[in-house]
Amino acid sequence: MKHIRNVKFTRLFAGLLTSLLFAALAVPLGAQPAPASRPGQGFGPVYEAAHETTLNGTIQQVVTKHTVGSPAGMHLLVAGPRGLVDAHVGPFLSKQTKEALHTGTPVQIVGAMTSLHGRNYLLARELNVGGSTVTVRSERGLLSPVPSARVRRARSKKTSQPEPNGGAR
C-alpha cells in the first residue's frame, strides 16, 4: 500500500516538473518591446477622426471594381484644390445615392486621409451630393450599412402608428 502511494506521488511530481519545464520554454527569454499599435486597428484602414478634413470638388471617375490593395467598396476620384483624391465611400450606399454619383457632379466629402499599401485614400464619413447628406461612416470610422427596404418600411410603420391607448389625456 505504501509503495502505491509513493508511485502516485512520484508520477504527480514528475508531471508538475514537466509542466513547469514546458511553461518555462514557452516564455520568451529576451523581452522585446511591443510593436507600435495604432488606435482602432482591425480590419481595413484606420480612420483617425482627429485628422478629419473637408474636400470640395468634382467627381472625375466612379470606381466600382475592386483593385487589389485598396479598401473594398466604391471609390470616387475627386478633383479638388489639392489635385486628384481617391475617396473611399464603401460598399453600403443606397441605390439612389449611387445613381446620383457620376462624372462631373460636384461633391463635398468630410473624411480622414489614410495611407494603405503606399497609396493615400480619403475615407469618407459624410458625402454631400445633390443637396442631400449621406452618412458613410460613424464618427469612429465604422462603415454604416444602409437599411434594406424591408427595414425602412418596418421603421416607418412603427413611427406612424397611433398610440394604442388613444394618446395622452
What does the block give as the cell for 125? 464619413
Would you state the pLDDT for residue 34?
Answer: 47
Q: In this predicted structure, which of 41-50, 72-81, 110-119, 152-161 has the lowest mean pLDDT? A: 152-161
- Which sign does the torsion angle of CA 116, 120, 125, 131 carry? negative
Residue 65: pLDDT above 80? yes
Predicted TM-score (pTM) of this structure: 0.62
Query: Mean pLDDT, to the nearest integer, of 52-77?
Result: 94
CATH T-level fold of 49-155: OB fold (Dihydrolipoamide Acetyltransferase, E2P) (2.40.50)
pLDDT band for position 67 (cuts 50, 70, 90) = confident
Give one word for 114, left, alpha or beta, with left for phi > 0 and alpha for psi -120 to 50: beta
C-alpha to C-alpha distance for 98 and 92, rounded to whole angstroms: 10
Amino acid at the residue 99 = E
Would you state the pLDDT for residue 5?
Answer: 62
C-alpha atoms less than 13 angstroms from C-alpha of 119 in its C-beta half-sphere = 14
Residue 29: pLDDT above 90? no
pLDDT band for position 132 (cuts 50, 70, 90) = very high
Query: Mean pLDDT, to the nearest integer, of 26-50?
Result: 60
Q: Tell me the CA distances in angstroms from 103 to 60, 88, 106, 107, 155, one per residue in order.
A: 5, 16, 9, 11, 34
Instruction: Choose between 63 and 150: higher pLDDT.
Output: 63
